[in-house]
Chains A and B, each alone.
Chain A
Amino acid sequence: MWDRVVRFLRAHENARYLKFACLALLIAASSSCSRPSTPVQDSHAYDPGSGSLTGATLNPAPNDPPGEWRSQARDYANTRYSTLDQINTSNVSRLRVAWTFSDGTLNGHEAAPLVVDNTMYVVTPFPDILYALDLTRAGEPIKWTFKPNPAPMAKGKACCDTVTRGVAYANGKLIYNLLDDHTVAVDAKTGKEVWRTKMGNVETGETMTMAPFVVGNKVLVGDSGGEMGVWGWIAALDVDSGKELWRAYSTGSDQQVRIGDDFKPFYERMKGKDLGTSTWPADMWKHGAGSVWGWISYDPELKLIYYGTSNPSPRVPDQRPGDNLWTSTIFARDVDTGMARWAYQTTPHDRWDYDAVNEDILMDLPINGQVRKVLVHLDRNAYGYTIDRVTGEVLQAAPFAYQNWSTGFDMKTGMPIVDPDKEPHPNVKLVNVCPPDIGGKDWQPSAASPRTGLVYADIFNICMDVTDNEASYIPSSPFDGMDMNRYPAPGGNLGEFIAWNPVTGKKVWGIKEIYMTMSGVLATAGDVVFYGTTDGWFRAVDARSGKVLWSQKLGSGIIGQPITYLGLDHRQYIAISAGVGGAATVRADVIALRPYDFPAGGNTLYVFSIDGDSMSSGPGQMTSKDNVSTTRPETGNGTQH
């Protein structure tokens, strides 16, 4: 081939036209490769792209103002999707730090800030301080600080760092859980405590770390303590008074679990009387855990809330033969009465600490030619489920991360097929079980985009060696028994950021990361998705192609949840906390794997904007008394689709 070209050139040696043609081609090629030199002025010019890959539709109710972020999950369906598109694939690489805020604490920062009415609310890990930042003034000064003084004893009862996963906003109040089992409501304007309700006894080993979830005039909360032998529950409190309206336990008699006549589970093994006691050896359900420390979603048409329960206690399965209902179970409950409508246990007789507490994203998906109301749930056991949220039928279940504890999934019975070689027994070291206790994906919430129809998630690529030791139940001490050593699964990377197709059950693309990826995910209408790594890289990715468009190194590892909002200056901002901790630092064995030093703790909230423009820096002696200008800046126009 090559000598033909040479012969051709030699034959036409003197043909100048050829040389000009080549030159012209080169110039044209290089000019089309150059970046646009001017920023995008009008977001209406942005091309939305080729449409959804799955045909999914999402319901972003409640209809919160798009420029605000009023709940941790953004909406009832837990989409974590923002309709703002000022920041999009063409300009996200110009994101720079606009301003930061240090909250003065240490430990893992898992929460997202809320933005309501030009005020940003930031909650810290223990001692659970709540700050209100005034976004109408330069420098975002602190409007008020709320210090609830939780009991120091709670620090020794939290299995996975003294974290909190966020606050909820309702009726002019910020509502959140303290580590020592109190739920507290704070007036959003003044920072004064409105009510406080004691939900449990921290002396038994029970704590509370989850972000409350508001539906109408009810706020839903649950406990933590799957490793402490607690009795798991979810409760609804009245938003205005804090009075408990109902509580549903995760083990016990049907009356305690709030299972009644309208309970219609899809699968046979979840039908029967008092399964919450009969699937346990005598009396062991009383400290069987099933705590509710993850996310809750809500379908306003069906009036059902969806959430999951934790692993059973102790973490030594041979001490508790039986299916151990209703642990590791996804529940659908009526929000007004708390009565269960259906339940599905993702990991029967869980042997590896596979909680079912991960978020349930509510989507409407076309499956086999029919649009079904589903929930999409990427579970700790590494299976990505698409479940009919009306009936509890599993429509699709496929692994999204590396796993070897099961050899398959039986769609008829809805049960995973357990590999007997991967079942741990006391005093025997079991080698290479994947995923480990923290799962293929832990509590870090995924996001869904209605534009692409995909679900975006941070996952783990980790395995463990485990030895079980039978445990005594001594309240105030752990009821545990798992002795583990964790290491990367095949591939060598500890983390990965994936795009998941919930209809086909396949990974569309993935970005491998050396370190664990344990942050929440943010999806935006600009077709950009955001995530962070535990060694501190915050990244923006093209939601369609999976190409990393932008990265920024932050001061500490990222295990928080990013949000986006519109400032008073009509600029779109992205906010994320950097302060590593949580389960990422629970065991020194994982830290020992890293090639470089694991980042130290931190407590900084980072807020980004295009070119870093904001009212927090500029010429002259600025002070916090300066108001934020509401005139339109040069870039950005504050509108969105």
Chain B
Amino acid sequence: MNLRAIHSAIGIAALALLSALGGCKHSQGGSTTTRPVNFPSDNLIGAVPLGQVAGEPARVVTALSIDNPYHDNLQAIQQGKQLYIRMNCAGCHAYNGKGNMGPDLTDTEWRYGGLPIQIYETIRDGRPQGMPAWGAALPPDEIWKLVAYIQSLGGTVSISDYEHARQGDQPGEQVAPEAQADAQFAPTTPIFPTPIPAKAQTPSSSPTPAKAGEPKP
């Protein structure tokens, strides 16, 4: 071998090493998510009615197109499960979600609505029969992760099924022609969202239910 070849070999090896070092970016890691920037605003969340819209038969309530930004995000589901245990959700709703002091979260029965946005609201605002309000202790990011975990349990209502689920319809059932949603009343523009005044964020504006972790002074 001549000297020139030896020099070339060393040079190539060094080059390869340096380029490898230079290309070594700060690793992204496999344990976090790209945090979505746009969470549904509180305006929008409050606009979803729990009950039926008075006087409007079988409408499609379009605000329900707001899905969980973390839907099907495996890492968010994993972190949501960690929160489910550490925030004591498992203490009331059981470690397998089947319910105990609190209702079953894996079945399709939802007292206050089974859409992701309605479950978000339940967790954030609490409910009268003992569900605490977590909105002060957990920012929206964390609550959406919890919703993602609950969605992974299988009982929640998907957005496209909302109107049907609310009327007790099951997939694959027969529909008498007279029971079809009345096309004459189908809106061309969505009824919701109607902008409503932003709900006050301070806890003192909602006297019931009690916030999580805060006994009355």
Contacts and interface: CB of A to CB of B under 8 A. Distances in A.
A and B touch in the complex (CB under 8 A): yes
Given A153-B210, A157-B130, A478-B101, A471 B216 contact: no
B80 interface: no
Nearest to B137: A474
Nearest to B133: A476
5 contacts: A203-B215, A474-B88, A474-B213, A477-B92, A479-B88
By secondary structure, the B interface counts as loop
A469 B87 CA distance: 12
Contacts of A480: 88, 90-91
Contact count band on B: 20 to 34
A492 interface: no
Q: Which of A156, A203, A475 has the most CB of B within 10 A?
A: A156
A476 B132 contact: yes
Contacts of B215: 201, 203-204, 475-476
A107 to B, nearest CB: 12
Interface string B71-100: 000000000000001111111101100111
Enumerate the 3 nearest inter-chain pairs by beta-carbon distance, A residue then B residue, closest first.
Answer: A156-B130, A478-B91, A477-B88
A283 B45 CA distance: 40
Interface residues of A, number: 28
Given A204-B215, A475-B213, A476-B215, A155 B88 contact: no
Interface string B181-217: 0000000000000000000000000001111111110
Contacts of A159: 100-101
Contacts of B94: 587-588
B146 interface: no
Nearest to A477: B88
B129 A477 contact: no
Contacts of A471: 86, 88, 91
A479 B214 CA distance: 14
Classify the secondary structure of A's interface with B. Answer: loop
B148 interface: no
Contacts of B89: 477
Interface in A182-233: 201, 203-204, 227
Given A159-B101, A588-B98, A475 B88 contact: no
B92 A156 contact: yes
A64 B88 CA distance: 47
Contact of A153 (B99, B137, B209): B209
Given A472-B88, A586-B100, A203 B216 contact: yes
B112 to A, nearest CB: 13
A204 to B, nearest CB: 5
A478 B132 contact: no
Given A153-B209, A475-B213, A477-B212, A483 B128 contact: no
B128 A153 contact: yes
Interface string A417-447: 0000000000000000000000000000000
Contact of A156 (B88, B129, B137, B211): B129
A158 B88 CA distance: 15
B140 interface: no
Given A156-B92, A478-B92, 12 more contacts: A152-B130, A153-B209, A158-B101, A159-B100, A471-B88, A472-B87, A475-B214, A476-B212, A477-B89, A477-B213, A586-B100, A587-B94
